[in-house]
Chains A and B, each alone.
Chain A
Amino acid sequence: MSPASVFVCLSLTLLSDYPVIRVKPDHSGVVTDGVKHSMNPFCEIAVEEAVKLKEKKFIKEVVAVSCGPTQVTETIRTALAMGCDRGIHVEVSGKDYEAMGPLQIAKIFAALAKKEEASLVILGKQAIDDDCNQTGQMTAALLDWPQGTFASEVTIDGEKVKVVREIDGGLETIKISMPAVLTADLRLNTPRYATLPNIMKAKKKKIANMKPADLGVDMVSRVEVLRVDEPPTRLAGVKVETVDDLVAKLKANGTI
């Protein structure tokens, strides 16, 4: 029995190549106005994997989902141009968007996955602007589904998914039952370019619109940001000639 639909959950992040990210003068966060935003690289990998699974006929439909302000629809369109069938935009803006974190997003994704009876939810392992690495895991916990995180290889085997995970000690292979949550790691695949013909075709694909309230999700944050600071400027180092010198210096410094 082939699974019906796969949800790919996308994140819009600050573009990592932007030369200098600045902390706001009131230390409440980082300046995001005028900084280029784009699809999170790990989410691109997640989209690519989902589209690949569809091309191999393991799944029938790929739905691209993202939470955020209007800007986020561009990201969904890119996913559609890469091969997703339809999109869902969960509108979150203003203060709610600023306070939005992995828990709120996971609640939204979990509610959607349940509502649309998804068989697989695929996300990027983490967003490159906040590096939380929580959304996938929280989504799985809320749904009480098995999870295959840091996936570098995904194979569907009947009703189960074999996932090779990149862990500190090396590679771990697990087999989990569907429905399940997967998070994509760097080496899972190389995302395709959205070709111009596909970009034009994506215009006709549908993006549904909804609000967190429609899914019964409360967006109140349990976390309060106290302060954001830049890391201390790196001080100059000292070069030493021998290991003995190094030990002597460390001792003199009080480090050892």
Chain B
Amino acid sequence: MAQRLNLVVSRHFSKLTSLSSTGKLAENVSSKPKTASGSEITADHLLYTPEHFALKESLKKIIDQDINPYVDQWEAEGIFPAHKVFKLLGNAGFLGVNKPVEYGGLGLDFSYSIAVSEELGNIRCGGIPMAIGVQTDMATPALARFGSTELKKEFLLPSIMGDKVACLGVSEVGAGSDVATIKTNAVREGDEYVVNGGKMWTTNGTQADWMCLLANTSDGPSHKNKSLICLPMNSPGVHIARKIDKMGMRSSDTAEVFFDDVRVPCKNLIGQEGMGFTYQMLQFQEERLWACGNILTMMDNIIQETIQYTRQRKIFKMPVLYHQSVHFRLAELETEIELLALHREYALYIKGNDVTKLASMAKLKAGRLSREVGDSCLQYWGGMGFTSDVLVSRFYRDARLLSIGGGADEVMLSIICKYMDTLPKK
């Protein structure tokens, strides 16, 4: 009943509204700005049904009540309680959205995964959505598709329930973009693999119960000699060398891991030996589109918060926002964000099309645009933007990773060139 108000400041029930995670915001700046994106309109959405919106609303509640109030603390501590948060999400069914029903998943299509990804962008940092993304869309897809029943029961089911934390072991100190040159190997000895080597940039690495490990299992062409293996992280010989101190994504623990004669049963092999590289590549398009979902919401939120801040912050006797260079620039950024909204790509992917070129373009653009958004908006926050009290400075630090991780910009460009047939011929 919206009419008949003598307007009062709306009452806030501490239980029911999101707590501001930034202590010293100027008045009138809400901790949870309304997203301006057109996708709020249920009736006309190209991709989402009422169920998608119900999903987002429910996830939003969990984020507002059980995650956002603690983000500042977890950022300061350099780690978030993955088991606790994943269990919470697992209970509500958000960790297995597109995973098989037999293992606790919901068997829904990728549009639901994207809805989750977009909503997770409302978490007030980049580290936690990234950690969740690893759990749901990086460490588990190959297992879900190609793992044996026994293996899925042991690793996939508890990961979907939120009882086990997963991590992905692909990148190494000596091999990032050039995955083919990884050195970790798993040598067969009887009915065990003996693993030696190490992994780098392992998100969730210090808390994970198991790792989806990519290792060399034979000699031969570098894209045909690798396998994916489920490695329990408490196996003797697994050393968490250090938790890496990073510029951003600070609430996500990133580990450097060593393997010293670690023994894993051969039955922990996912699918076929030698297919590891192929399996991992199959899910790249999903991963990249998923990352875009996150960042779109975050960029939206940053623009909205910047508008609110600059509307009330005065300079030369008028709001910062009223200066043309400011509102024009925000309009430029908003235009680019809108054009990046990728529902066409998601829809094509769901229909079964190969969206490699489009997904690579999306990730390339998302990484670069988020840097521009962060940089421009931070400028408009002035001195305040430079402090750790505001979200924009955290976004500036967190978003920088997008052009590097999950496939660096340069790799994206190479893929696009391949499709454009412009690469030098051998």
Q: Which residues of A contact B (CB under 8 A)?
A: 11, 13-14, 16-21, 23, 29-30, 32, 35-36, 38, 41, 73-74, 77-78, 81, 98-102, 105, 127-132, 186, 190, 193-200, 202-203, 223, 225, 228-231
A41 in contact with B13 (CB, 8 Å): yes
A196 in contact with B97 (CB, 8 Å): yes
CA distance A100 to B4 in the complex (A): 10
- Distance (whole angstroms) from the CB of B283 to the closest CB of chain A: 21
B3 touches A (CB below 8 Å) = yes
CA distance A231 to B235 in the complex (A): 65
B91 touches A (CB below 8 Å) = yes
Residue contacts A-B, CB under 8 angstroms, 10 given: A18-B34, A19-B33, A21-B7, A29-B3, A195-B91, A195-B92, A196-B92, A198-B93, A225-B3, A231-B7
- Distance (whole angstroms) from the CB of B48 to the closest CB of chain A: 12
**Chain B positions 9 through 47: 1 when the CB is less than 8 Å from some CB of chain A, otherwise 0:** 111110111100000000011101110000010100000
Do A29 and B2 contact each other (CB < 8 Å), given the known contacts A36-B40, A195-B92, A202-B54? yes
B106 touches A (CB below 8 Å) = yes
Task: Place the interface of chain B in its size category.
Answer: 35 or more
A23 in contact with B16 (CB, 8 Å): no
List B contacts of A229 (CB < 8 A).
Answer: 6-7
B1 in contact with A196 (CB, 8 Å): no
A20 in contact with B28 (CB, 8 Å): yes
Q: A-B pairs with CB below 8 Å: how many? A: 126
B62 touches A (CB below 8 Å) = yes
List A contacts of B55 (CB < 8 A).
Answer: 196, 199
A195 in contact with B58 (CB, 8 Å): yes
B8 touches A (CB below 8 Å) = yes
- Distance (whole angstroms) from the CB of B27 to the closest CB of chain A: 11
B7 in contact with A193 (CB, 8 Å): no
List A contacts of B308 (CB < 8 A).
Answer: 19
- Distance (whole angstroms) from the CB of A140 to the closest CB of chain B: 18
- Distance (whole angstroms) from the CB of A78 to the closest CB of chain B: 6
B3 in contact with A98 (CB, 8 Å): yes
* SS class, residues of chain A in contact with chain B: loop
B2 in contact with A203 (CB, 8 Å): no
With CB as the reference atom, state the residue of chain A lying closest to B52: A199
CA distance A32 to B3 in the complex (A): 9
- Distance (whole angstroms) from the CB of A20 to the closest CB of chain B: 7
A23 in contact with B7 (CB, 8 Å): yes
Q: Which residues of B contact A (CB under 8 A)?
A: 1-13, 15-18, 28-30, 32-34, 40, 42, 50-51, 53-55, 57-58, 61-62, 91-94, 97, 106, 108, 308
B92 in contact with A11 (CB, 8 Å): no
CA distance A251 to B10 in the complex (A): 33
List A contacts of B33 (CB < 8 A).
Answer: 19
CA distance A90 to B206 in the complex (A): 54
List A contacts of B29 (CB < 8 A).
Answer: 19
Apart from A14-B2, A36-B40, A186-B13, list 13 A-B contacts with CB within 8 A: A29-B4, A29-B5, A32-B2, A101-B3, A129-B2, A130-B1, A186-B15, A193-B92, A196-B58, A196-B94, A225-B3, A229-B7, A231-B8
With CB as the reference atom, state the residue of chain B lying closest to A224: B4
With CB as the reference atom, state the residue of chain B lying closest to A11: B1
With CB as the reference atom, state the residue of chain B lying closest to A227: B6
CA distance A63 to B385 in the complex (A): 50
- Distance (whole angstroms) from the CB of B389 to the closest CB of chain A: 18
B30 in contact with A19 (CB, 8 Å): yes
A129 in contact with B1 (CB, 8 Å): yes
- Distance (whole angstroms) from the CB of B92 to the closest CB of chain A: 4
- Distance (whole angstroms) from the CB of B112 to the closest CB of chain A: 8
List A contacts of B28 (CB < 8 A).
Answer: 19-20
- Neighbour of A194 across the interface among B2, B3, B17, B58, CB < 8 A: B58
CA distance A11 to B58 in the complex (A): 18
List A contacts of B32 (CB < 8 A).
Answer: 17
List A contacts of B50 (CB < 8 A).
Answer: 73-74, 77
Do A16 and B6 contact each other (CB < 8 Å), given the known contacts A132-B1, A196-B106, A199-B58? no
- Distance (whole angstroms) from the CB of A33 to the closest CB of chain B: 10
B57 in contact with A38 (CB, 8 Å): yes
List B contacts of A102 (CB < 8 A).
Answer: 1
List B contacts of A32 (CB < 8 A).
Answer: 2
Do A30 and B2 contact each other (CB < 8 Å), given the known contacts A17-B18, A194-B54, A228-B7? yes
